[in-house]
Every structure is written in C-alpha cells, then in structure tokens.
C-alpha cells in the first residue's frame, strides 16, 4: 500500500472499478459484504417461504408463482419431495454460511472494527479484497447448483454421510462451494486478528477496546481454528464422491436394496465429529458478533457504562475456548459411552455459564437507566429475552437424557432459530439501524424502522414458538409433509398453518425495511453532526460520517479512556469520547 497516497484529501482519481468493485478499502469491502449477505439472507428466506407452503398445505399446488417452476421441481405447482429437500439443505447453508456470518463478520466486522480501534484499514487490504471475492464465488457456486439436472444438495446443511456420499451432483457443488467459503473466512480471520492485535491506535489498550471488538476478536479465533477440520472433512467427502474412497462408508452398506460397490471400512461418525468440531464453534460465530452489536447499542442508549464490561470480556474469551470441547452434544444418540457423554454434558453445562453472564450483564446494564427507545435500541432490547429463550431451550438439549427424545425433532429447530433469528438477526438489524448513519451520513427513517421492528419481532415468535411445542409432541424435523401422515402428530400439525402465515407476514414486514434502506440513501434525514447518537467510541468521535476515504483518519487518534464513559460526573456532556484527553 505504500506506493499510493491515501490522504483523504488527495484528489487523485481512482477508477470506478478500483474504487467500488476491486476495492481494498475496508469500508467498501464491508459494504460489499453487507449488500451481498443481505441479498443471500433474502434468498435463503425465500426458499424457506416456499417450504412453508408445502408444510402448511402438503401436496397442494402453490398458487400464482407455482407455475413458474420447472416440471422437475414443482410440476403444476406441487412441490416434489426432492425439491423440498434441496430447499431445506440450501436454506440452512445459505442462512448460516452466506447470510449471517458474512453479515456479522464480513460486513460489520470489516466496516466497524478498524474505525473503532483507530486503524487506517485492515492489516492486509489485498487479502481483504480476495476474501470477499472468494466468498462471492463460493456463493455463486452454491446458488448455481439449483440448475444442475438433479438440482442442489439434498442432504441437509449438516451433509451427513452415507446419504451425502451417494447423493446427486448437487452435493459435489456444495462441497466445492464450502471450500471457497472456508478459504474466504480463513483469509478474513487472519486479517481481523492481525488488525486487532497490531493496528490499535496509540492508547487503545486491550481493556479500552469496545466489547464489539472483543467479540470480533474471539469470533475470528473460532473461524481460524474451527473451520480447517471441516475443510479436511470436505476433502475426504469429495474423495468419497469423486474418487470412490470409503472414508465415511461402512462395510456392507445397502442402498435401494443393493449392496453398495465400495471397499467399505469407513465410518459415518467420523464426518459427524469433524463437522460438529466446526459447527459448534460456528454457532458462537453466529452469536458473538450479535452480542457485540447489542452491547454497543445498549451502552449508547442507556447512557451508562456497560455493567460488568470486564466480566463480559472474560466470559467471551472463556466461551471461545470452551466452544471447542462441547461438539459431541450434537451426537448423544450415536451410542457414545457414558463416560464420553458425561464429559460433553458437563462441558455443555459449563459453557452456558459465560453466555448467561453476558446476557445478565446486558440486562443489568438497563437497571436504573433512562432508556432512549431509538429503533436500534428496540431491536437490541428484543434480542435479550429472545436470545435468552434460545439459550434456555438449549439446556435440555445439552443433557443426554432429555436430548435423546428431543434430538432431531422440531424442538431443536425451535431452539436454534430462537438463537439465530429473533436473536442474531434482530441484533444485526439493530446494527444496521445504528451504523447506517455512519456509512451514509443519513439516518434511517424511524417510523418505518419501528414498523419493521414490531412486525418482525412479533411474527418471529409465531413462527418459532410452535416449533418447540411440535417438537415436544415428537414431530421430527425435515418432514416433507410437516407431520401430516403421522398419527401422533395430528394434535399439533395445525400449528403449521399459523407458522407459515407468520413466516409470510414476516416477509411482508421486511418490505418497509428494504424501502427504507434504499430510500434513505438519498432521502434520509442528514445527520446533524458526525456523532448523531452522542456515542463515545472512535468510529463516531474521531472521523466524519461518512468517514474519510481510504485511510479513515487524518492522523491516528489517541485514546485516553475506556469505551463506555457515559454520564461521567463533572463532564459537560453525558458522553466522554475515547479520544478526548
């Protein structure tokens, strides 16, 4: 980078392509990540809305748009089981790997972290650009697999063999796509860690870093260390599929009444171990940045320091470590011995402690505050009980005796959707409303934001709460007819209609957001000053809104105090910026 001049006032012209497409500026890359991942969230959500039709009205033709689909997927608008499975597998994959993680880490992390620590950019700008484009290609590979003759992957986002080993070509595409996504997140993780460790501005000691930065730091460690084993597993599965090895195929496997012609001797459990070694830390990748966003917004809108900032930081670090030794709680029914299962039950109970501490600290931060009910704050406030419910419903799953009947039921689906949808997604929306003026210099419209908030928060509960009830009644997940053909499910399947309607209502309530998002770019209320929320952290106090071009700051800001010095007695305003002596 040393051969360019990155002074914000230099008038050298960068070409459009260099500036907006192959940019190395973390802010542009952050926005690229943001727009792409929002689009993927919408796509993943649309797949689910299609599935919800089949679940609510099994076997009935989908009106209006049903005729747009091909004969192999929805002849006469009636969804085929194979297509339902594709939608399910790709919904999960897209939401997790192409929606939430890139939005939480790629977009928010990229845009906000360097600004919050007073850095001119990420440590490796070219790697940063590469990471976005590798992610983009991975996304295209995933999406394009829908147009294969036999369609996209059908073995679930968990891709369990033996099914995934003998599946149609969509699964091969899925594996290639994942290798791209893993590579991208690896490049990102190295970059975030180096940036946070090396590029902190003078005075920005570790204990002065905003909680959001801590959350991103731990998240990056998880991405760095948990993803590679899945990459290894992906390579092994590719070999099984393309070269004919039997890493995940046991001897004597019978498929459709015929003995499978492979050497055998492998183990499907091997995949499960390697997969969950990634995928449990991955759930913390989904939640930690959300906690970070909520912490920023809670501090800002309570006008008080966070309650127990240090304890929160210790908790998040502890969470990071622990998340590597709980993975087999996803595998209690695989017949592991009692000693092993005991170990994983204990670690799972231990890991819930730091989550509870962080959540409690955020709740306690509200105590005695005069809250500002801005739109970001509403989303952040809703996150707290919703994530709480998600976490609480996880406890019975973490104990083998209760997990064995609940495993693979709708209850599990309800549990993790509470954590990721009304949990993480609401927090991500909070972040968008909070930092939108940072990136654009204009506010999002508040009334529209409030409509978006109430509509989303309420309808989400009508989607996910009934899942818990259905699961407790024993309804399995991944059923093509939502349980209609099972005797015991008859009492609870009427919820399917409620849930589907709520899902479509949720879809409708995203329209005000989409409109608001684009309309405000040009027509939104201009910010009155660079720090419209009266915040204390550097991204608001040390640079303009929107920030300077490449390089962010005229000179590196100097940091004199902790991140949340709100309502300091004796100070003339109720916020004391980090860069004020």
Partner 1 sequence: MQIPYTVEARPDTGVNNAKLGVWLFLASEIMLFGGLFSAYIFLRVGSPEWPGDILGHTYTSASEILNVPLAFVNTIVLIASSVTIVLSWAALAMGNFKKYRIYMGLTVLAGFGFLIIKAIEYSDKFSHGYLPAENNFLGIYFVMTGLHALHVIGGMIVNGYFLGPGAKMWKSDPKRFMSRIEVAGLYWHFVDLVWIFLFPTIYLI
395 is an interface residue for ligand HEM by CB under 6 A: yes
Helix ranges (H only) for 19-98 are: 26-56, 81-93
Q: If 0-12 CB within 10 Å is exposed, 13-18 middle and 19+ buried, where does residue 64 land?
A: exposed
226 is an interface residue for partner 1 by CB under 8 A: yes
10 is an interface residue for partner 1 by CB under 8 A: no
Residues 317-336 that bind ligand HEM (CB under 6 A): 329-330
DSSP letters spanning 167-196: S-THHHHHHHHHHHHHHHHHHHHHHHHHHH
Phi, psi torsion values for 544, nearest 5 degrees: -80, 170
Residues engaged in binding Cu ion (CB under 5 A): 280
Residues 264-303 that bind ligand HEM (CB under 6 A): 283, 286-287
Least distance CB 327 / Cu ion (angstroms): 6
Least distance CB 326 / ligand HEM (angstroms): 8
Half-sphere exposure of 514 (CA within 13 A, CB side): 10
Q: For 476, which DSSP code?
A: B
- How far apart CA 510 and CA 425 sit, in angstroms, is 12
- How far apart CA 98 and CA 47 sit, in angstroms, is 14
Least distance CB 212 / Cu ion (angstroms): 24
Q: Which residue from 14, 60, 76, 554 is in contact with partner 1, where contact means CB under 8 A?
A: 554
Q: If 0-12 CB within 10 Å is exposed, 13-18 middle and 19+ buried, where does residue 81 land?
A: exposed
244 binds, among partner 1, Cu ion, ligand HEM, none (CB under 5 to 8 A by kind): partner 1
181 is an interface residue for ligand HEM by CB under 6 A: no
Record the tokens describing residue 412, joined without a space: 């599990």
243 is an interface residue for partner 1 by CB under 8 A: yes
Record the tokens describing residue 28, joined without a space: 């542009």
Shortest Cβ contact with ligand HEM: which residue? 394
273 binds, among ligand HEM, partner 1, Cu ion, none (CB under 5 to 8 A by kind): partner 1
List Cα–Cα distances, 175 to 13, 146, 234, in angstroms. Answer: 41, 14, 6
Cis peptide before 562 (omega within 30 of 0): no
- Return the range that interacts with partner 1 (CB under 8 A); candidates 116-124, 302-310, 390-398, 412-420: 116-124
Residues 350-379 that bind ligand HEM (CB under 6 A): 352, 355
Record the tokens describing residue 490, joined without a space: 């008859």
Least distance CB 281 / Cu ion (angstroms): 9
Least distance CB 352 / ligand HEM (angstroms): 4
Pick 136 or 324: Cβ nearer Cu ion: 324
Per-residue x/- track, 161-200, partner 1 (CB under 8 A):
-------------------------x--xxx-xx--xxx-
Contact 285, 101 (CB under 8 A): yes
Q: Which of 367, 385, 370, 383 is nearest to 301 (CA)?
A: 370
Per-residue x/- track, 406-445, ligand HEM (CB under 6 A):
xx----x--xx--xx---x---------------------
- Measure CA 386 to chain center: 15
Which residues bind to ligand HEM, rule: CB under 6 A?
A: 158, 283, 286-287, 329-330, 348, 352, 355, 391, 394-395, 397-398, 403, 406-407, 412, 415-416, 419-420, 424
């Amino acid at each position: 980078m040393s051969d360019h001049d990155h002074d914000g006032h230099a008038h050298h012209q960068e070409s459009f392509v260099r500036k907006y497409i192959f940019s190395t500026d973390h802010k542009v890359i952050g926005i690229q990540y943001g727009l792409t991942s929002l689009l993927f969230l919408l796509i993943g959500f649309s797949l689910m809305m299609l599935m919800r039709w089949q679940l609510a009205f099994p076997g009935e033709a989908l009106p209006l748009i049903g005729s747009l689909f091909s004969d192999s997927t929805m002849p006469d608008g009636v969804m085929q089981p194979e297509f339902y499975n594709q939608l399910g597998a790709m919904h999960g994959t897209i939401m997790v790997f192409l929606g939430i993680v890139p939005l939480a880490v790629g977009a928010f992390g990229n845009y906000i972290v360097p600004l919050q620590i007073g850095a001119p950019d990420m440590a490796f700008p070219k790697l940063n650009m590469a990471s976005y484009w590798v992610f983009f290609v991975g996304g295209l590979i995933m999406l394009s697999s829908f147009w294969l003759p036999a369609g996209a992957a059908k073995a679930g986002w968990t891709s369990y063999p033996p099914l995934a080993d003998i599946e149609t070509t969509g699964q091969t595409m899925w594996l290639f796509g994942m290798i791209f996504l893993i590579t991208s997140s690896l490049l990102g993780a190295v970059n975030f860690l180096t940036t946070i460790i090396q590029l902190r501005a003078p005075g920005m000691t570790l204990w002065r870093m905003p909680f959001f930065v801590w959350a991103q730091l731990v998240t990056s460690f998880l991405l760095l260390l948990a993803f590679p084993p899945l990459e290894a597993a992906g390579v092994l599965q590719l070999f099984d599929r393309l070269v004919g090895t039997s890493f995940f195929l046991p001897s004597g496997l019978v498929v459709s009444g015929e003995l499978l012609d492979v050497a055998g001797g492998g183990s499907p459990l091997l995949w499960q171990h390697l997969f969950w070694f990634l995928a449990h830390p991955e759930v913390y990748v989904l939640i930690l940045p959300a906690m970070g966003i909520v912490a920023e917004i809670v501090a800002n809108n309570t006008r008080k320091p966070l309650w127990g900032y240090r304890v929160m930081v210790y908790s998040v670090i502890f969470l990071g470590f622990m998340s590597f030794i709980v993975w087999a709680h996803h595998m209690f029914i695989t017949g592991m011995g009692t000693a092993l299962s005991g170990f994983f039950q204990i670690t799972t109970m231990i890991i819930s402690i730091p989550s509870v501490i962080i959540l409690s600290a955020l709740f306690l931060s509200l105590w005695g505050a005069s809250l500002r009910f801005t739109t970001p704050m509403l989303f952040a406030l809703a996150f707290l009980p919703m994530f709480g419910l998600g976490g609480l419903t996880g406890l019975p799953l973490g104990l083998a005796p209760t997990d064995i009947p609940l495993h693979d039921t709708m209850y599990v689906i309800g549990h993790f959707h509470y954590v990721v949808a009304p949990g993480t997604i609401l927090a991500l929306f909070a972040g968008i409303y909070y930092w939108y003026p940072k990136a654009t210099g204009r506010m999002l419209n508040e009334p529209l934001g409030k409509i978006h908030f109430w509509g989303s928060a309420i309808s989400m509960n009508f989607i996910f709460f009934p899942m818990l009830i259905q699961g407790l009644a024993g309804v399995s997940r991944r059923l093509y007819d939502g349980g209609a053909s099972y005797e015991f499910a008859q009492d609870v399947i009427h919820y399917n209609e409620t849930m589907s309607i709520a899902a479509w209502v949720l879809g409708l309530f995203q329209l005000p957001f989409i409109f608001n998002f684009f309309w405000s770019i040009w027509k939104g209320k201009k910010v009155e000053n660079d720090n419209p929320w009266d915040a204390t952290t550097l991204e608001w106090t040390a640079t303009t809104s929107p920030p300077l071009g490449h390089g962010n700051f005229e000179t590196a800001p100097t940091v004199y105090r902790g991140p949340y010095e709100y309502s300091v007695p004796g100070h003339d305003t109720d916020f004391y910026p980090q860069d004020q002596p």
